[in-house]
A and B are shown apart, each in its own frame.
Chain A
Amino acid sequence: MKILIVDDEQDVEIMFLQKFRKEIKSKRLEVSFAFSGEQALAMLGNSGSPDVVYVFSDINMPGMSGLELLSAIKSRFPHILVSMISAYGDRDNYNRAISSGAKGFFTKPVDFDSLKIEIAELLTNQ
C-alpha cells in the first residue's frame, strides 16, 4: 500500500521513515514524499492510475495550499483518501478540510500514535 506525504518541510520525510520503519521494511507500506502541492499532483498524475491510496498533506505551503491540493485530488482521483496535517487545528481549517472531502485532520506536532492507528486501520481494511 502506498501513501503520499506532502509538506514543504523536508524533515517530515525523516520522521515518517523512522516512524514506519518496520512497515516499510516489511513492504507492507510504501511512503512517497512531495514538498509542494504541485509536486504531489504531478506525482499522482504521472503514474497514470496512481497506486497511492492515501495522501497526508500539510495545509500551509507556498504555492498550492494543502486545501487546494485536497480539492484537486478529490476532483481528479475521488478514490484516494486525503487527510490534512496542520499546525493550525482551528475549526475553520478543519471544517473546510472535512467539507472538501478530507478523511481526517491531524495537528502538528504530529501525533504519530493516532496516525499509526489510522494507517494500521487502513492496512487492516485492505
Chain B
Amino acid sequence: MAARIGNHRPSAPSAAFWGACLYFLVLLSASAQTAEQLQAEMKRMEAGAGFATDTAYLNLANELGFILAESSPDSAVSYLDLQLQRCREARYEKGEAEALKIYGNALQNKGDFRGSISYYSEALEIAKRLDGEKLVPGILNNIGLVNYNLGNYAEALNSFYEAIKGADLTKDANVKAAALNNVALIYFEQDKLEEAKEKYREMLAIYQETGNKGRVILAYNNIGDVELKQNKPLEALKNLQVAYQSATELNSPEFVEMTSRTLADIYAALDSADRAEELYLQSIALSRENGYGVPYAHSLIGLAELYYQKGELQQATDLAKEGLAQAETMAQPMQMRNANELLSRIYEDQGDFQAALRSFQLFKFYNDSINTSHSQRLTATLEAEYEFSKKEMEYERASSRQRWIIFSACAGLLAFLIILFVEYRNKKNLDKAYHSLQDKNNEIASKNEALEKALSQLKAAQAQLIQAEKMASLGELTAGIAHEIQNPLNFVTNFSQLSAELIQELSEERAKKPEEQDPDLLDEILSDLQLNLGKINQHGKRADSIVKGMLEHSRASTGEKVQTDIKSLINECLRLSFHGLRARDKSFSADFSTEVEPDLPQAQLVPQDISRLLLNLLNNAFYACANADFRKENPDLKPLVTVSASCIAKGSPKARLKISVTDNGPGIPPEIIDKIFQPFFTTKPTGHGTGLGLSLSYDIAKAHGGELTVQSVPGEFTTFTVFLPV
C-alpha cells in the first residue's frame, strides 16, 4: 500500500489517516518542535506587550495550530478561529493565509471536505496576493487531496499539476515531491504501475537531494509497494531492504513500522513465512504501542493469513477477528474485506459453514462496495487522465520551451560574454594602439613644432636669400646701370657744350654787320639749339628713368600690379643686362635683337618682379652664348640673344602675353633640364651664382598666374618662355 503526503508545513510534517486503504503518515523531522515546546515558547512571548501582533508569535501559533489540526481537529477549529482573528487584527496576511490553510487541514481531518475546500480557497486567494506566491503550491496540493477524497479526480489532478508547476516556480522541492507522490497515487489506483513508479522515482530524487531521510524511506517503501503489486517481489525486496535499514538507523517507529509491514507483505509473497511473521509481529508491536490503527489492522490480517497458510487455524481466527475489529473501528473497507474473506475460508475449513457464509457475504459486500467505488473512480480517472496528460504535455512543452529559452539565454549570455571578451581584447588593443598613437601624435606634434620653427627660420633665411639675390643681381647690373646713366649724361654734357658753342657762334654772327650776316646760318644755329635742348631734355629723362628703375629694383616688391608697357620694359632690361655684362667682361661681345609684336597690349603686372624675371633670363642668355670659354671653343659663332614678345589668343579671356628669350649658346643637357628651376641649382663656378635666379623667376611667373617654361636643343639653342595673363 502506498502512503501519501499532504498538509505540508516547512518544518513539521503531517499525520492523518485517510479512508480507503491509504495511510497519511506522521513524518517528524529532527528539528520540529513539539506542541509542548511551542506552547512554552508562546507563553514566554505572551509576557511581552503587543505579542498578539508580533509575526514571530503568530508564526509559532500557526505551527501549534498545525499540530493541533493533525492531532485534535475538533479543538484545533476553535483555536484556529482565534488565530485567524489575531492575524487579521495584526494585518498579517501571510499568517492569515497559513491559518486558513491549517483550518482547511483540520476540517479535512474531521471529514468536512467541503468546508475544508472553502478555507483552502480563501487561503489560496490571499496567498496569490502575497509577494512570490510561495504558499500557493502547498495549498493547491492540499486542495488536490480534498478533491481526491471527494472522488473528483479530474480536479485533484488539475490541482496537483498546478501545485507541481507552482513548486517549480517557487523552487519548493517539498511541495513538488508531495504533489508528485499524490499523482503517483492516482496512477497506482489506475493500475498504471510503471507511471506510478516513475513519479515515485522523481520524488525520491528530490528527497535525496534535499536530504530528507524520512521521505527517502517513504519513497523507497512506495516504490517497493508498486513493484509488489506488479508481482516483482524480488525487486520490491531490494528497495524495501534499503528502506527498512534506513528506518532502523533513523530509529523512527513510524518508518520502522511502515517498512517492516511492507517487507512482511513481500516476504509473504515470496513464501518466506518466518521472516514475514517476524516482521508482521514487529509492525503489530509498534502499531499497538504508538496507536497506528490502520497499520495495526493490516498487519494483524497479514499475520492471520500466514498462520492460516501454516494450518494454525485457531491463531489465524483470533488474529483475523482482532484485525477485523480494528478495521471496523477505523472504517477501512479494504481491511474489512480482506479479514472477512480470510475468516470465511477459515470457517469453511473448520466446517462452520454458517459463519463462513456470513463472512463471505460481508466480504462480498465490502468487495462490491470497493469495486463500485473503484470502478467509479476509474471512470473518473480515465477522464482525468486525459485532461492531466494533456496538461502535463502542455507543461512539458512549456518547460521545454522554458528550457529552450533558458538554453537560448545561456547561449546568448555565452555569446555575449565571448563578444564582451573579444571587445575587451579589442578595446585593450585599441587602447594600446591609441596610446602609442597618442605618443606618436605627441612626437609628431613636437616634431611639427620643431619643423615649423625650422620652416619659419628657413622662410626668414629664404627672404634674406632673395634679398641677397636681388642685391647680387643689382651688383651685376651696376655696371650696366652705370653705362646706361653714363650715356645720357654724356649726351647732356656734350649737347650742352655744343649749345654753348652754338650760342657763341650766334653771338659772333650777330656782331657782324647786318649785310655780312648769314641769315641761313642764324636759322640753322637756332634750330640746332632747339634740337640740342630737346636732346638734353630727352637724355636727362632717360637717366632719370634708369635711376628710378634701379631704385625700384632694389626696393622690396610691393606686389602691386600696375599697367605696364611690356615693350619698354623689355628694352630697358635688355640694355641693362647687355651693358652690365659688357662692363664687367671687356671681352664680352654679343648681339641681341627684339621681335616685339606691334600694338602689344599693356599688361597688369608687378614691374619690379617682371623686370627681375627678364633680367635673370637675359643675363643667363648672354652668359650662355657669350661667356669667354664658350666663345673660345666656338670662335665662329656669333652670340645672339633674341627677345620676342607677342600676345596669344588675343581677345579671348585666355589671352596671354608670351615673352621668349632665346640664345644660341650650348643648350641645356637633358639630364639637368629638370633641375634648373630648383633653388640653388647652378652650373656656374662656385661663387659666381646663387642658384636662385631661375627658381625665383619661376616663382614670379607663378605668382602672376603665369608660367615659365624652357626648351633647349643642345648645341643649338635655349629658349625660356614666360606666359603672363594680359
Contact = CB atoms under 8 A, between A and B. Distances in A.
A60 B498 contact: no
B582 A60 contact: yes
Nearest to A113: B497
A18 interface: yes
A92 B498 contact: no
A62 B590 contact: yes
B490 A63 contact: no
Contacts of B528: 18
Interface string A58-87: 001011110110000000000000000001
If over half of B's interface residues share one DSSP class (helix, strand or loop), that class is named, otherwise mixed; here it is helix
Given A19-B498, A65-B588, A109-B497, 8 more contacts: A15-B495, A19-B501, A21-B524, A63-B589, A68-B589, A108-B486, A109-B491, A109-B494
A105 to B, nearest CB: 13
A60 B497 contact: no
Nearest to A68: B589
Nearest to A88: B583
Given A62-B578, A62-B591, A93-B586, A15 B483 contact: no
B411 to A, nearest CB: 98
Contacts of B588: 65
Nearest to A63: B591
Contact of B494 (A15, A88, A96): A15
Contacts of B590: 62-63
Interface string B512-540: 00000000000010001001100100010
B489 to A, nearest CB: 7
A92 B582 CA distance: 13
A31 to B, nearest CB: 15
A42 to B, nearest CB: 14
B24 interface: no
Contacts of A96: 586
Contacts of A68: 589
B589 A110 contact: no
Interface string A95-126: 01000000000001110100000000000000
Nearest to A92: B586
A9 B583 CA distance: 17
Give the interface centre of A14, A19, A93 by most chain B CB atoms within 10 Å. Answer: A14
Given A11-B535, A60-B583, A87-B483, A65 B490 contact: no
A59 to B, nearest CB: 8
Interface in A17-69: 18-19, 21, 60, 62-65, 67-68
A51 B220 CA distance: 161
Nearest to A96: B586
Contacts of A112: 494, 497-498
B75 to A, nearest CB: 150
Nearest to A9: B487
A9 B483 CA distance: 12
B535 A14 contact: yes
Interface in B579-626: 579, 582-583, 586, 588-592
Nearest to A64: B589
A28 B588 CA distance: 37
Interface residues of B, number: 30
B290 interface: no
B35 to A, nearest CB: 144
16 contacts: A11-B495, A11-B535, A11-B539, A18-B532, A19-B498, A19-B501, A62-B590, A63-B589, A63-B592, A64-B589, A65-B589, A87-B486, A88-B583, A108-B490, A109-B494, A112-B497
Nearest to B489: A109
B493 interface: yes
A62 B586 contact: no
Contacts of A110: 490, 494
Interface string B673-687: 000000000000000
B628 interface: no
A17 B172 CA distance: 142
Most buried by B among A21, A60, A64: A60
Nearest to A7: B487
A62 B498 contact: no
B502 interface: yes
Contacts of A21: 524
Interface centre among B532, B582, B586, by most chain A C-beta atoms within 10 angstroms, is B586
A87 B493 CA distance: 13
B491 to A, nearest CB: 6
A41 B275 CA distance: 165
A14 B529 CA distance: 11
Residue with the highest number of chain A CB atoms closer than 10 Å, among B535, B539, B583, B589: B589
Nearest to B592: A62
A21 B638 CA distance: 38
A64 B592 CA distance: 10
B619 to A, nearest CB: 15
Nearest to B574: A62
A63 B664 CA distance: 13
A9 B538 CA distance: 13
A102 B625 CA distance: 28
A99 to B, nearest CB: 13
Please give me the 9 A-B residue pairs with the lowest Cβ-Cβ distance, nearest first: A63-B591, A109-B493, A109-B490, A108-B490, A65-B589, A87-B486, A60-B582, A109-B494, A18-B498
A96 B585 CA distance: 13
Contacts of B495: 11, 15
A108 B532 CA distance: 17
Nearest to B641: A62
Contacts of A93: 586
A74 B276 CA distance: 169
A64 B588 CA distance: 10
A9 B491 contact: yes
B531 A60 contact: no
Contacts of B535: 11, 14
B331 to A, nearest CB: 155
* Residue from B498, B579, B638 having most chain A Cβ neighbours under 10 A: B498
A14 B490 contact: no
Contacts of A14: 531-532, 535
A11 to B, nearest CB: 6
B487 A87 contact: yes
Contact of B579 (A11, A60, A92, A109): A60
Given A60-B583, A108-B486, A109-B489, A15 B498 contact: yes
Nearest to A87: B486
B217 to A, nearest CB: 137
Contacts of B491: 9, 11, 15, 109
A18 B490 CA distance: 16
Interface string B497-508: 110011000000
B543 to A, nearest CB: 13
B502 A18 contact: yes
A44 B600 CA distance: 38
Interface string B551-588: 00000000000000000000000000011001100101
Contacts of A108: 486-487, 490
Nearest to B528: A18
Contacts of B502: 18
B355 to A, nearest CB: 173
A68 B524 CA distance: 37
Contacts of A11: 491, 495, 535, 539
Contacts of B531: 14
Nearest to B529: A18
Contacts of B487: 9, 87, 108
A36 B586 CA distance: 17
